[in-house]
Amino acid sequence: MNLKKLFLLIISLLVILGIVLGFNFYTKIYKPNTIKEGFIYIPTNSDYATVENLVRPFLKRVNTFSFIANLKDYPNGIKPGKYKITEGMSNNKLINILRNGKQTAVKLSFNNQDSFEKLAGRISQQIEADSITLLKAFQDTTFLKESGFNENTALAMYIPNTYEFYWNTSANLFRSKMNDEYKRFWNSERLEKAKKLNLTPNEVVTLASIVQKETSTVSERPMVAKLYLNRLQEQWPLQADPTIIFAVKQKLVANIVIKRVLTKDLEIDSPYNTYKNLGLPPGPISMPDISSINAVLNPAKHDYFFMCASITKIGTHEFAKTLSQHNQYAAKYQIWLSKQGINR
């Protein structure tokens, strides 16, 4: 074999080898390597080994994923968060998503929670921050003061709804964004309506929390709200049983169930006793939802001052203009409670 043929043979072999290596390299980068769809949650401060274990169940070939990850220097740039993996993704596409921090947002939601402890528990189920860290952030007195709240009104800042957050949102960032949402909720229209009622936004939420606890029937809430507004306008005590229940729970055990307010309860020494104190209590007794807030801002039109739970339309109330009429409803209700065996 002459030198020319040998040279051509070597070149041919090198070309073939190049093609094989190139195809192999191309396969590692661009060939589909994920076998199913799902989400992975990469905790803050994770190392590459943690990420590899998280993606392993989704991959056909872990070694090719690791090869490309190292080639792209991903182990030195891991970003925490929630990431969506779809079936048929290449290593290149998956690593680019992870490396660039292209998270999938969390649809975070919460309804009317009675306390920060319950709110922290609910939120910790949906983002990375744990309940203890969240609770500490919620109760931070410096933040509350800077934001126009105090320990009594702090719950008013959280408007029950569905929001978009990244999974790795910190407790402090969550708190700050909820403050932004609170400001966004209290737009000029709502502020004007509150002003016409001679109430601040926090006072509206406080009254709404009473309305929320008073009736679970959404359509009735504007009626209940107007009744309390009538009492406030005439400087009558609200005499709202939910505030008594709240005060009793503060003095006793918070998780007890109270279905019946007793006469002795009305004497409890508490700023939340709306039988003994005029005006609104110091803050909300629970977290009202938007329907209750809107009920206060858009109350029904009537001149009722009294109400009592109905025994014929369970879940609603009988409204009255006079005390004598109210007492008739109340007497029937007390008899009904006793017959049901509800003593507390």
Give domain status of residue 10, yes or no. Answer: no
Give domain status of residue 222, yes or no. Answer: yes
**128 touches 43 (CB < 8 A):** yes
User: CA 184 to CA 114: how far, in whole Å?
Assistant: 23
In this predicted structure, what is the pLDDT of residue 36? Answer: 94
Helices (H), 100-240: 116-124, 131-138, 141-146, 171-185, 188-196, 201-214, 221-233
Give domain status of residue 1, yes or no. Answer: no
In this predicted structure, what is the pLDDT of residue 30? Answer: 57
pLDDT averages per 10-residue partition of the chain, 344 residues: 58 54 54 93 96 95 92 94 95 94 95 92 97 97 95 95 96 96 96 97 97 93 97 95 90 69 86 95 95 97 89 81 80 74 60
Q: Are strands 161-165 and 106-110 parallel, antiparallel or unpaired?
A: antiparallel
User: CA 233 to CA 22: how far, in whole Å?
Assistant: 82
Looking at the structure, tell me whether residues 124 and 92 fall in a common domain.
no
In this predicted structure, what is the pLDDT of residue 94? Answer: 95
Q: What's the gap between Cα 14 and its chain centre?
A: 62
Cβ-based neighbours of 162, under 8 Å, separated by 6 or more = 107, 108, 109
In this predicted structure, what is the pLDDT of residue 313? Answer: 80
Looking at the structure, tell me whether residues 229 and 310 fall in a common domain.
yes
Looking at the structure, tell me whether residues 113 and 142 fall in a common domain.
yes
Looking at the structure, tell me whether residues 176 and 206 fall in a common domain.
no
User: CA 132 to CA 171: how far, in whole Å?
Assistant: 9
In this predicted structure, what is the pLDDT of residue 343? Answer: 55
Looking at the structure, tell me whether residues 222 and 312 fall in a common domain.
yes
Looking at the structure, tell me whether residues 78 and 204 fall in a common domain.
no
* Other Cβ atoms closer than 10 A to 36: 11
Specify the pTM: 0.83
Looking at the structure, tell me whether residues 54 and 149 fall in a common domain.
no
Q: How many domains does the chain have?
A: 3
Domain boundary at 165, 185, 205, which? 185
Looking at the structure, tell me whether residues 160 and 49 fall in a common domain.
no
Write out the residue range of the structural domain in which residue 177 sits: 106-185
User: CA 316 to CA 307: how far, in whole Å?
Assistant: 10
Looking at the structure, tell me whether residues 194 and 331 fall in a common domain.
yes
Give domain status of residue 11, yes or no. Answer: no
Domain boundary at 99, 116, 140, which? 99
Q: What is the CATH number of the domain that holds 59?
A: 3.30.1490.480
**172 touches 137 (CB < 8 A):** yes
Looking at the structure, tell me whether residues 181 and 225 fall in a common domain.
no
